[in-house]
Amino acid sequence: MDRFLFLTFDGLARGAVLAAFALSLVLIWRAARIVNFAQGAMAVAATYIAFTVTALTGSYWAGLAAALVAGFLIGAVVERGVMRFVGNSSALNPVIAGLGLLMLIQAVLGMLFGNSYRTMVTPFSSNPVEIFGITVFSSYDLFVFACIAVLVGGLVLLFTRTPLGLRLRASAFAPDLARLLGVRTSRMLTLGWAMSSALGALAALLVIPTELGLNPHAADAVFVYAFTVAVIGGLDSPAGAVLGGLAVGVLLSWVSGYWGATLAPIAILVLLLAVLLIRPGGIFSMTKERTV
Amino acid sequence: MSVTKRYAFAAAAAVLLIGLTFVIPSFASYQLATVCAYLCGIAGLTLLTGAGGQLSLGQAALMAAGAYSYALTANTMADAGTEGPLLLLVPLAAAVTGAAVLGLVIGLAAGRLHGPYLAGFTMALVVALPAVTSTFSSVLGGDQGLWITVEKRPASLRGTVSTEAWQAWLAVVCSVLVLTLLANLLHGRFGRHLRAVRDNPVAAALAGIDPARTKVTAFFISSAAAGMGGGLLAYTTQSASPGAYSLVFSLFLLMAAVVGGIGSLAGAVWGAVLLVALPHLISTATSRLELSADLAQRLDGNLAVAVFGLVLIVVVLLAPQGIQGLLDRIGRRLGPTRSVSVPPKSPTSPDSPDSAPSPASSTPTRLSARHEPEQLPATPKGQ
Amino acid sequence: MTGGLVLDGVSAGYGAVQVLHNIDLTVAEGSITAVVGANGAGKTTLLRTITGQLRPSAGSIRIKDGRDLTRVPVEEMVRHGVALVPERRGVITELTVEENLRLGGLWRKDRRAADEVLAQMYELFEPLARRRKAAGHQLSGGERQMLALGRALMAAPENLLLDEPSLGLAPKVSAQILGMLRRLRDDTGLTVLLIEQNVRSALAVADHGVVLNLGRIVASRPAAELAEDTDLRHTYLGF
């Protein structure tokens, strides 16, 4: 029972990160109808910048801030420099462009920093603490929760309570109408990519220290998991991404804990296939079935 | 190209390439064998993604299925004492069959997915490959993979033909076979159906084509081609390991299929050559420069990937028809009178002399002109 | 108010197909001008061209104070005092009534003025006030038309363009909406350009009428006069 509780709580912590990363995919999907296959590589690039800043200043917090800023800028550059010109003449073109970016970014990171794994420091201990005799969260887990809650909460407020959020939603739902009402949709699109990329950067920064360490390919599996989460939750549904992230995190933790960590990617594959075949619109999605 | 002409062309190409192995150094023969092995996988992707519009990142996993099928069959047979041509042909057949069966299963499961969904699912498949090999490590050898007992070149050739040249012969013959079969399929009824389903599944269904069945068949065929490629790689490297069939390799294959001109088999050849030649050229160039060991290690591999990534982006943005599309365009500009002044000799061969699918061949089943812009290769908007 | 539009020799079309041919049109300040014509006469294309959604191939579009709108992109139009109520009541269905309305006034820096206008809109359109939090897709056709009109008015436009506001509405609702345009003109001096298929009610509410046929203006006269001209009605309007 203790082990079950431990695995569940541990899974929630991992799930929070997946939720944040999946949410970043959902943000881009809603704004541009693109699944950004370069999202993982972009987030890792921001994490490398954070790593460098932390190494130079000795401050984790400076690195955290740098990751957010770098993520934001990378997202804006990718949208303005590449994705804007891809066009939607074929559904494959944005995917191919994203994969090209993925290769380019990973290779450039490899050239700059080498392909070896680097250990990243965490500001808090990742050893779980005991509460009432049950091992639950580590203080790092709580830090992860807090970071993601703050950022996701901030995004929710931004989108639902501010004029900027209204503009962003209007341009995502009905770009032509939004333009008629004076919304500069082109800027909104760039901003959407930038915010999404910053969120992805935060997720990568938080998850990479708990995995093998920093490497140009460090987010490959995270991307696949987050894509699965986004599909389960419905690519259109931010709430679905968050709930799906937590659910998949717990599920992965159980699979890894009871059957072994190597089975996690296979479990994800089976889960993704099942959802795509049984409920292609996503489990939490309110919209009717989409054409898959 | 008529079917007869195509066979003649294929035979000529095979003879020419085999002849080439007598004049090039043995390392170049090995590279030729690698190009041919990659070409099988890329050509399969050309059919699936180019003509079928289904973007799969799983081609590396299917080539791995071919390589492992080859390895398991060859090792079992060798343990049983089998020798001779059987130890070569049966494992190759097993490679094709193994990958095709896996492709059929994936196609049945994922055939109705499209666009980013299929890409994401097949990406998950490739990422799960190391997990599969370690889960079944007693059979598949875990991260280390398997070493393979291979049948060497026939005794009569020893002394006159190097191992590498023999590998190249085998790979040339197999890949020419695969390409010819794929070309026949793409130019025949199946190719028309596939393009019709890609351009407008509803219209295709109304015209009596079963879209699901067509897509699954495309998966099956593409996987069989990948299996041949994997089998050839297994033979030439004498090993099968998960590290050789990573996500990056899948991306390479996609890059090769796109850069040559997605949907064009001639383009697939360009892509395969580029895939082998570019890293070689880059590593030759960097070894000439006096670089520190650390820097050389960082550039090695990464520089080629960076170039491939950049090429992929540039091709999508500027030349979605790839190298072959550019060549076709240049060819048309340089010799626009050729097809006008010289009437085709045989009325049964109206196709252009390249093996790119001619746009006209898909028109009979395309019911609505509105769907023209959706087909691949597509013209980018916003330029 | 500085409303009023002047179109000078405007031609426009889609690719090789030219839809509008050399349109000269003056919309007088503080008036309601109705453009009528059969399906395919180019009425919607005319509005798309004025609002910058379609770039004219020739000619110029100016507002009364002389500012040239010909090359102004669509998202800048509201900043020049031009607002459009799109065809088929273009409400953003995922947003609530209040969000739709607020969106219309967002381009203005003055938040307080926008709040005031919002309150006015709820006074003007009683049914909307009761459904502030309802999502756009829950509204009836009439409510959507009111919302689209209210949202355009939130921009405090000098020139209000409407594309078929009575399409698909019950006669009573459509009369209510057209009547409201008259009140707005009288109370605030708003300039209105109205595109309508419902010729009778459009000409009843308008000061000036323009008949468009196959992309050309075939008549431009006071609305009352046009309504009387049975020959013209038979030839171009089919009743």
Summarised one tens digit per residue, pLDDT across range A11-57 is: 888 899 999 999 999 999 988 888 999 999 999 999 999 999 999 99
For B108-160, how does the pLDDT look when each residue is reduced to its tens digit (9 = 90+)?
887 777 778 888 888 888 988 888 888 888 888 888 888 888 777 777 777 77
Overall average pLDDT of the A265-273 stretch = 87
From chain C, pick out residues whose CB is under 8 angstroms from the CB of A181.
78, 103-104, 106-107, 151, 155
Which region among A172-176, B291-295, B324-328, C221-225 has the lowest average model confidence (pLDDT)? B324-328
| pLDDT over threshold 70, residue A214 | yes
Asked if the C-beta of A278 comes within 8 angstroms of chain B's C-beta atoms, the answer is no
Residue B45's pLDDT is 92
Helix (H, G, I), strand (E, B) or coil at B158: coil
Overall average pLDDT of the B262-267 stretch = 82
| pLDDT over threshold 70, residue C136 | yes
From chain A, pick out residues whose CB is under 8 angstroms from the CB of C80.
none
Full-model pTM: 0.83
| Structural tokens at position A283 | 């489990």
What rounded mean pLDDT belongs to chain C? 83
Does A289 or C169 have the greater pLDDT score? C169
Residue B96's pLDDT is 94
CA distance A236 to A234: 5
Cα C102-C107-C109 angle, rounded to 5 deg: 100
Residue C18 falls in which region: left (phi positive, over 0), alpha (psi -120 to 50) or beta: beta
Asked if the C-beta of A105 comes within 8 angstroms of chain B's C-beta atoms, the answer is yes
Considering CB atoms only, which of A174, A182, A185 is closest to C92? Answer: A174
For C142-192, how does the pLDDT look when each residue is reduced to its tens digit (9 = 90+)?
888 888 888 888 888 888 898 888 877 778 878 888 888 888 888 888 888
Burial class from Cβ neighbours inside 10 Å (0-12, 13-18, 19+) for residue C62 reads: middle
Does C40 or A7 have the greater pLDDT score? A7
Residues of C with CB under 8 A from a CB of A: 51, 53, 74-79, 84, 86, 90, 92-95, 99, 102-104, 106-107, 151, 155
Determine C/A contact with 3+ CB pairs under 8 A as the test: yes
Contact B113 A103 (CB under 8 A): no
Considering CB atoms only, which of A84, A268, A276 is closest to B117? Answer: A276
ipTM: 0.86
Asked if the C-beta of A85 comes within 8 angstroms of chain B's C-beta atoms, the answer is yes
| pLDDT over threshold 50, residue B371 | no
| pLDDT over threshold 60, residue B260 | yes
Residue A54's pLDDT is 93
Residue B347's pLDDT is 39
Residue A101's pLDDT is 95
Cα B60-B65-B70 angle, rounded to 5 deg: 125
* Minimum distance, in Å, between the CA of residue A67 and any CA atom of chain C: 32
For B267-296, how does the pLDDT look when each residue is reduced to its tens digit (9 = 90+)?
889 889 988 988 888 888 888 887 777 788
Considering CB atoms only, which of A87, A92, A101 is closest to B313? Answer: A101
Residue of A nearest to C79 (CA): A182
For B234-244, how does the pLDDT look when each residue is reduced to its tens digit (9 = 90+)?
999 999 998 88
Residue A60's pLDDT is 92
Asked if the C-beta of A268 comes within 8 angstroms of chain B's C-beta atoms, the answer is yes
Contact A181 C79 (CB under 8 A): no
Residue B362's pLDDT is 35
- Contact present, B186 and B266 (Cβ < 8 Å): no
- Contact present, B86 and B77 (Cβ < 8 Å): yes
- Contact present, B358 and B191 (Cβ < 8 Å): no
* Minimum distance, in Å, between the CA of residue A251 and any CA atom of chain B: 16
| Structural tokens at position A229 | 């989460």
Name, in order, each residue with C-beta under 8 angstroms of B284's C-beta and a sequence gap of 6 or more.
Answer: none
For C18-65, how does the pLDDT look when each residue is reduced to its tens digit (9 = 90+)?
888 888 888 888 888 889 887 777 888 888 898 888 888 888 888 877
**Beta strands in C37-158, from DSSP E residues, in sequence order:** 58-63, 82-85
Considering CB atoms only, which of A82, A90, A106 is closest to B313? Answer: A82
Considering CB atoms only, which of A107, A220, A263 is closest to B127? Answer: A220
What rounded mean pLDDT belongs to chain B? 80
Residue B324's pLDDT is 66
Helix (H, G, I), strand (E, B) or coil at A126: coil
* Minimum distance, in Å, between the CA of residue C145 and any CA atom of chain A: 14
Does A18 or A262 have the greater pLDDT score? A18
